[in-house]
C-alpha cells in the first residue's frame, strides 16, 4: 500500500496546456518534496515545502503544501515538451528517509 497517492498516474497533454498533479496521504509529514526523474537517471529535487499552506513557485511550476501537511499539489502553467518526465512527491520521514508517492508520468506533446 502506497503511503502517498498521486493522481493522475499518467497524463498526456499538448504543449501550452496547464496541469495539476496531486499528492495525498493520511499521514502528516514534517516536510514534503517534489522530484522530477528522467528515464535511467536518479530523481532531481524540484522543491521542498515545510509549512502548512506554503506556496512555492519555480518559474512555471507552483507547489502548494496543504494546511494539515498531508497533501500537496504541483501546478504547471503552459507546459512544454521539456517538462516531460516522471514527477514524484516524497514525504520526509525521520533521518532523511523518504517515502515516495506513486508517481505521475507526464508527457507533453509538441
**Where does this chain bind another protein (CB under 8 A)?**
2, 6, 31, 33, 39-45, 48, 86, 88, 92, 95-103, 105
Task: Provide the grid cell at 99.
Answer: 517515502
Query: Shortest approach of another protein to residue 31 CB, angstroms?
Result: 7
Minimal distance in Å, beta carbon 61 to another protein? 19
For another protein, the closer of residues 44 and 78 by Cβ is 44
Provide the minimum distance between the beta carbon of 102 and another protein in the complex, in angstroms, as a whole number: 5
Q: How far is the CB of 46 from another protein (least distance, A)?
A: 13
Residue nearer to another protein on the CB measure, 43 or 66: 43
Which residues 6+ apart lie within 8 Å of 1 measured at CB?
A: none
Q: Based on CB atoms, which residue is closest to another protein, 26 or 94?
A: 94
- 71: Cβ contacts below 8 Å, ≥ 6 apart: 22, 23, 24, 25, 65
Q: Which of 42, 1, 43, 8 is nearest to 23 (CA)?
A: 8
- Closer by beta carbon to another protein, 26 or else 60: 26
Residues linked to residue 74 through DSSP beta bridges, in sequence order: 21, 63
Angstrom distance (rounded) from CA 92 to CA 40: 23
Amino acid at each position: 500500500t502506497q503511503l502517498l497517492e498521486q493522481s493522475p498516474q499518467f497524463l498526456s497533454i499538448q504543449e501550452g496546456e496547464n496541469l495539476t498533479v496531486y499528492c495525498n496521504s493520511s499521514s502528516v509529514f514534517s516536510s514534503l518534496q517534489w522530484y522530477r526523474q528522467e528515464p535511467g537517471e536518479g530523481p532531481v529535487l524540484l522543491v521542498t515545502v515545510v509549512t502548512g499552506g506554503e506556496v512555492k513557485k519555480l518559474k512555471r511550476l507552483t507547489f502548494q503544501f496543504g494546511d494539515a501537511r498531508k497533501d500537496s499539489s504541483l501546478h504547471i502553467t503552459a507546459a512544454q515538451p521539456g517538462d516531460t518526465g516522471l514527477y514524484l512527491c516524497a514525504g520526509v520521514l525521520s533521518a532523511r528517509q523518504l517515502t515516495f508517492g506513486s508517481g505521475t508520468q507526464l508527457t507533453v506533446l509538441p
